[in-house]
């Protein structure tokens, strides 16, 4: 089994999905850069150790990254799952956890990296939107893709309605990807995602929208 930690900045709905999935490993902590993050209370209620590394207490980004990395290593985290963690991590941090640092992003990458993805998708007029679980690299939202899920963009969608449908898929594919990683069925080799059976299950990893 592999010990893992989860990083959050807010309510942590994807963190809750990971914890509720009873993954084959031990969650050694839920950490946040924001003391007021609502997800900390939920995690603590489940008996999970929680900690705050407040980014506002550091004058430099590198110092925050260093403190966060040291806390993760002190807890023995072998994997780090970002679940709504709203901080860009520097190159040194990413290199320190290379191949063990995972994120979920609310778009079908490489389309719409960064923030406000649902509004951007609507503005672009796309007919398919979705979410992506990927390895984190120094380039923001550009790491190797593990799994994706797609949802249709409906004629009466606004950003809030579209976000809700995408979030439901996030809660499905993040635990799927995390389980595969913890079980050793998926790994990063020379910058490419390799699955034990040659490919991931299309049914589990991608939901294709209907007509």
Residues labelled catalytic: 105
Q: How far apart are CA 161 and CA 119, in angstroms?
A: 11
Q: What is the Cα–Cα distance from 149 to 132, expressed in whole angstroms?
A: 7
Q: Which two tokens stand for residue 91?
A: 């190159």
Rounded CA-CA distance 8/61 in Å is 17
Diameter of the chain by CA atoms? Answer: 51
The total of other beta-carbon atoms located within 10 Å of residue 189's CB is 9
Beta partners for 117?
none
Question: How far is Cα 174 from Cα 131, in angstroms, rounded to an integer?
Answer: 10
């Amino acid at each position: 089994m592999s010990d893992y930690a989860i990083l959050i900045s807010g309510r942590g709905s994807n963190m809750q999905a990971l914890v509720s999935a009873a993954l084959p490993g031990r969650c050694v902590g839920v950490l946040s850069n924001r003391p007021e993050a609502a997800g900390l209370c939920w995690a603590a209620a489940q008996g999970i150790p929680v900690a705050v590394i407040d980014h506002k207490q550091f004058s430099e980004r590198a110092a925050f990254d260093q403190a966060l990395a040291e806390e993760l290593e002190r807890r023995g985290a072998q994997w780090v799952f970002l679940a709504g963690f709203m901080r860009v991590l520097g190159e040194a941090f990413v290199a320190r956890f290379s191949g063990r640092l995972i994120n979920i992003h609310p778009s079908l990458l490489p389309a719409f990296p960064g923030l406000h993805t649902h509004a951007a998708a609507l503005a672009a007029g796309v007919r398919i939107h979705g979410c992506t679980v990927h390895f984190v690299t120094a380039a923001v939202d550009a790491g190797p893709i593990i799994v994706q899920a797609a949802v249709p963009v409906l004629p009466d969608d606004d950003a809030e309605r579209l976000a809700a449908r995408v979030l439901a898929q996030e809660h499905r594919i993040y635990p799927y990807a995390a389980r595969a990683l913890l079980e050793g069925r998926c790994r990063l080799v020379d910058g490419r995602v390799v699955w034990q059976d040659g490919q991931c299950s299309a049914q589990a990893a991608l939901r294709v929208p209907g007509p």
